[in-house]
């Protein structure tokens, strides 16, 4: 988790190390403390030890070599005979020069990024960012129903990424009117899915507790166990009434204000890293979490299939070793499982016990610890944290939360994604995982389209200038309704 602290955030990195040594100092050797945990990010590695887009590992160099190959193929595709031209060393030099220019610190690879993406990437982040902007443009709230009509007001909220985002310049919150003023420096804060779901969960849990003992007619339409269901939380966000939307935005504004690199009094190491480290969630994380919660055991089908003659077919029995008893075989297998697939010291147990025939060989599969998801290391760290109390800085809030209350989305870390634009030098930065890895991300596209008025090439029927006006109109109208 420390390796996912964003590039350049040395204050968070040092505070995380101090907290780590404070908790596990007796269990860490002096060599590890002086060689890796000495406060220098370059000694431990991770995003904090480099600039965005830089490569600092062997695996990363292999990936960058693959990018040079792709650039080389793009250059050769302009020729009539690419195979013949591939022997020309000038094309390879041009591919290397293009990659060097992209990673050069003196260049600005995002200068023409929106209109001509430098490196789309395998995750198609550019296409996903454009789709999110189109959805923002196409959003239209349900028509307002008058009180005397007798009809129920329908609710279909704007996507939470936009609805609960904030615009700042230093400590001053800005309105969306600043978008388009290219000389203005802005900071765009987007809440992560985990942060939004956790705040909504605690908000509605507080309402349920306040309604305990009330008549049945006044009870809520949801139960407390529904607040652990990601699918239901997502539905609640879509249909949240205006009053609760205001409360949720106010709670998120308070969380953003307290999201400083300093560790708060009473805050555990796990809670600190969940708040300050940054890692993107899996693309199918919410679907996978929902499927695991609602999955049902499939009943085995004991009916035997009939063959062509109409009689029940029987499977041939595999040859079974008879020189060892079942208990001896089980003990040998348990010993292998304990070793996690490593070679067992008792070679006799492997040679004579697990061989079922001379033609078959036993398959040994190594066991690796699960990091994310149910039963993973991160979830276990949250559950056994002895300092899992409500922090002092959060105790005066009605919907205060501890680390155990957090809705953990697979692989996601961090509370807020901060994308900044410097009006002085025109540079865009972000602290999300993709920007730390590659130097570009969807949040950069958002700033370029909404603030810098740079539009992507694509369908000629798409009028991005008019679409941008609708995007900003929707942001101003929907976010403005929640601002006191």
Q: Are 161 and 190 in contact (CB under 8 A)?
A: yes
> Whole-angstrom Cα distance, residue 400 to residue 262?
19
pLDDT given at position 313:
53
- Give residue for tokens 């789709």: 131
pLDDT given at position 450:
93
Strands (E) located in 355-427: 416-421
Burial per residue of 63-76, b for 16 or more beta-carbon CB atoms within 10 angstroms, e otherwise? eeeebeeebbeebb
pLDDT given at position 5:
86
SS3 state at 143: coil
Q: Which one of 191-205, 213-227, 347-361 scores highest in mean pLDDT?
A: 191-205
pLDDT given at position 132:
92
Residue with the bigger pLDDT between 377 and 353: it is: 377
- Cβ of 185: how many Cβ atoms within 10 Å? 15
Burial of 366 (0-12, 13-18, 19+ CB in 10 A): exposed
Average pLDDT over residues 361-381: 49
3-state secondary structure string across 179-195: CCCCCCCEEEEEECHHH
Task: Count CA atoms within 13 Å of residue 476 on its CB side.
Answer: 12
> Whole-angstrom Cα distance, residue 232 to residue 136?
23
Per residue in 380-417, pLDDT (tens digit) is: 555 545 445 555 445 445 456 777 788 888 888 899 99
Predicted confidence band at 341 (pLDDT cuts at 50, 70, 90)?
very low
Average pLDDT over residues 46-65: 68
CA-nearest of 20, 55, 12, 23 to 438 is 55
Lowest-confidence pick of 86-100, 277-291, 319-333, 393-407? 319-333
Token code pair at residue 179: 């978008």
Q: Which residues contact 440 (CB under 8 A, 6 or more apart)?
A: 53, 109, 110, 113, 117, 118, 119, 125, 434
pLDDT given at position 451:
92
Domain ranges of the chain: 2-103, 125-143+153-292+387-482, 322-373
Predicted confidence band at 108 (pLDDT cuts at 50, 70, 90)?
low
> Whole-angstrom Cα distance, residue 461 to residue 269?
51
Q: Are 474 and 139 in contact (CB under 8 A)?
A: yes
Phi-psi region of 310 (alpha: psi -120 to 50; beta: other; left: phi over 0): left
Q: Are 396 and 281 in contact (CB under 8 A)?
A: no
> Whole-angstrom Cα distance, residue 474 to residue 390?
37
Per residue in 409-452, pLDDT (tens digit) is: 888 889 999 999 988 888 888 988 888 887 888 999 999 999 99
β-strands 428-430, 172-173 pairing: unpaired
Strands (E) located in 302-395: none
Per residue in 282-311, pLDDT (tens digit) is: 776 666 555 555 554 444 555 555 555 555
Does the pTM of the predicted model rise above 0.85? no
Predicted confidence band at 355 (pLDDT cuts at 50, 70, 90)?
very low
CA-nearest of 414, 387, 413 to 23 is 387
Lowest-confidence pick of 102-116, 118-132, 146-160, 181-195? 102-116
Q: Are 270 and 381 in contact (CB under 8 A)?
A: yes
SS3 state at 447: helix
Token code pair at residue 338: 């304990």
Q: Are 165 and 191 in contact (CB under 8 A)?
A: yes
Q: Which residues contact 378 (CB under 8 A, 6 or more apart)?
A: 1, 270, 371, 372, 408
pLDDT given at position 25:
83
Residue with the bigger pLDDT between 471 and 355: it is: 471
Of all residues in the chain, the percent with pLDDT exceeding 70 is 65
pLDDT given at position 298:
46
* For residue 233, pLDDT beyond 90: no
* For residue 277, pLDDT beyond 50: yes
* For residue 459, pLDDT beyond 50: yes
- Cβ of 464: how many Cβ atoms within 10 Å? 21
CA-nearest of 300, 252, 268 to 397 is 252
> Whole-angstrom Cα distance, residue 96 to residue 103?
11
pLDDT given at position 121:
57
Residue with the bigger pLDDT between 10 and 350: it is: 10
* For residue 160, pLDDT beyond 60: yes
């Amino acid at each position: 988790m420390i390796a996912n602290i964003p590039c350049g955030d040395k204050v968070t990195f040092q505070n995380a190390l101090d907290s780590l040594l404070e908790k596990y100092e007796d269990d860490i050797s002096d060599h590890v403390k002086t060689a890796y945990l000495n406060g220098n990010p370059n000694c431990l590695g991770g995003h904090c030890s480099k600039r965005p887009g830089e490569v600092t590992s062997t695996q990363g160099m292999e990936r960058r070599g693959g990018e040079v190959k792709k650039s080389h193929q793009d250059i050769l595709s302009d020729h009539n005979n690419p195979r013949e031209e591939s022997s020309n060393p000038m094309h390879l030099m041009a591919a290397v020069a293009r990659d060097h220019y992209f990673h050069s610190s003196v260049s600005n690879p995002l200068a023409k990024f929106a209109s001509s993406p430098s490196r789309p990437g395998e995750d198609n982040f550019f296409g996903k960012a454009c789709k999110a902007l189109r959805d923002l443009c196409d959003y239209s709230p349900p028509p307002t129903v008058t009180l005397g009509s007798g009809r129920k007001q329908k609710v279909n909220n704007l996507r939470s990424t936009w609805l609960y985002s904030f615009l700042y310049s230093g400590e001053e919150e800005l309105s969306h009117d600043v978008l388009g003023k290219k000389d203005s420096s802005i900071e765009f804060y987007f809440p992560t899915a985990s942060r939004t779901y956790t705040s909504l969960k605690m908000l509605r849990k507080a309402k349920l507790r306040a309604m305990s003992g009330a008549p049945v007619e006044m009870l809520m339409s949801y139960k407390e166990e529904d607040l652990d269901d990601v699918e239901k939380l997502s539905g609640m966000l879509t249909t949240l009434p205006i009053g609760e939307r205001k409360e949720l935005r106010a709670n998120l504004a308070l969380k953003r204000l307290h999201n400083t690199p300093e560790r708060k009094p009473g805050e555990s190491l796990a809670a600190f890293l969940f708040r300050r480290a940054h890692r993107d969630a899996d693309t199918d994380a919410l679907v996978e979490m929902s499927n695991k919660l609602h999955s049902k055991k499939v009943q085995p089908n004991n009916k035997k299939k009939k063959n062509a003659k109409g009689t029940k077919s029987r499977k041939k029995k595999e040859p079974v070793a008879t020189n060892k008893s079942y208990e001896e075989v089980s003990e040998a297998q348990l010993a292998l499982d304990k070793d996690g697939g490593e070679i067992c010291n008792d070679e006799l147990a492997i040679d004579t016990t697990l061989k079922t025939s001379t033609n078959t060989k036993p398959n040994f599969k190594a066991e690796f610890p699960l990091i994310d998801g149910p039963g993973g290391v991160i979830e276990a760290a949250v559950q056994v944290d002895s300092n899992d109390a409500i922090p002092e800085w959060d105790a005066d809030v009605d919907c205060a939360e501890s680390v155990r209350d957090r809705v953990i989305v697979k692989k996601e870390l961090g509370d807020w994604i901060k994308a900044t634009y410097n009006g002085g030098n025109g540079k865009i930065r972000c602290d999300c995982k993709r920007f730390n890895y590659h130097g570009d991300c969807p949040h950069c596209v958002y700033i370029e389209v909404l603030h810098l008025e740079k539009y992507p090439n694509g369908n000629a029927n798409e009028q991005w200038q008019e679409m941008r006006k609708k995007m900003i109109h929707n942001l101003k109208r929907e976010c403005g309704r929640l601002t006191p």
